[in-house]
Amino acid sequence: MTLPASATLPSRTPPASPSFRRVSVVVPVFNEEGTLARLYEEVAATLERLRCEWEILFVDDGSTDGSQDILRTLSGRDSRVRVFSFRSNQGKADALNLAFSEVRGDAVITMDADLQDKPSEIPNLLAALERADLVSGWKQIRHDPMGKTFPSRLFNSVTAFVSGVPLHDFNCGLKAYRSEVVAELDLYGEMHRFIPVIAARRGFRVTEIPVEHAPRTSGRSKYGVTRLFKGAFDLLTVVLLTRFETRPLHFFGAVGLALSAVGLVILSYMSYLRLIVHATIGNRPLLFLGIVLLLAGIQLFSAGLIGELVVRRTRQRRAYLPMRFTSEEAAPPRNRPVSKESA
């Protein structure tokens, strides 16, 4: 279930007594040696004020500067700091996937290591998480160059339109999750950009709150205009996986039938010209277009049928984790599974 954009939760109401007894903060790191010490201090100070158990998981994604040495120092100083490292750069999705498999918290906060995401927003995210399963930050005012903000706005607009999830900022690194959400995520490639879409399609409640965005003071941005092209292919992948994973014929068959129909109309017209009007059609480009469209449509339809056979042969019963709720909370919708202990 996705909350409408008009249901954006307030962002300046920290919880008086957090419902989440354990909070995990996940920070992917790639060449951010200039911000890590200060980031740790600010995150730790914020979490201490929440009076809860907490941990910080840093995932060093193959940094080539001194980031790994700083992380080792932090983990040696504070046992609540856990550090994981990749030998080479694997990407943000793999870093998050690793951390999500290791978190121990009831609530999980993700943020970037460049200090453009402000740790002071953590209480606001947790407050919003009381009424949602995933809360995404919305950087209404951004301190980035136009070469980064324009592609981001275009990407967010297209993603919201195609996916039907009414968020303004899908790729904001500052997010809060209930532990049930991260347990069902399996990220790879560039899928971290579409976590709200994946979660919403799995039936989780997704919303957003405005968050402050600070200018970059150290290092350099890892993103640019080129991510638009990657994002377009990744968005198509997400749509296929979330809407047509178990029914490929609905996608390929629909496109194939549409192309075949146009091809048949063109070939029917060509047949009319040849048989009735007795015109010469062998050198007309329209004839070849009709043949190509008909053949392409048949191939796509066949691909959909083959996909259905593959799904039928390999499909396993999907395991959904049960929702957890107390007697004071409203019962979940009927179409969402509940364990026997919760029923």
pLDDT 10s digits, 29-75: 999 998 999 999 999 999 999 888 999 999 999 999 989 999 999 99
Measured in degrees and rounded to the nearest 5, phi and psi for residue 59 equal: -115, 105
- Domain 5-243 -> CATH class: alpha beta
> In the numeric block, which tokens belong to residue 280?
């010469």
* pLDDT tens digits, 319-334: 555 555 444 444 444 3
β partners of residue 54: 23
> In the numeric block, which tokens belong to residue 337?
């599974």
Q: Which residue has the higher pLDDT, 336 or 317?
A: 317
Percent of the chain with pLDDT over 90: 45
* pLDDT tens digits, 172-211: 889 999 999 999 998 887 888 889 998 998 889 999 999 9
Side by side, the strands of the sheet bearing 22-29 are: 81-86, 53-61, 22-29, 107-110, 175-178, 134-138, 206-210
pLDDT of residue 146: 61
Domain spans, the chain = 5-243, 248-314
155's CB contacts (< 8 A; 6+ apart) are 170, 171, 193, 227, 228, 231
pLDDT of residue 42: 94
> How far is residue 163's CA from residue 243's CA, in Å, rounded to a whole number?
10
Please say if the pLDDT value at position 280 is more than 50.
yes
Q: Which residue has the higher pLDDT, 151 or 249?
A: 249
Cite the beta strand spans of 180-309 per DSSP E.
Answer: 206-210
Say if CB 68 and CB 60 are below 8 A apart.
yes
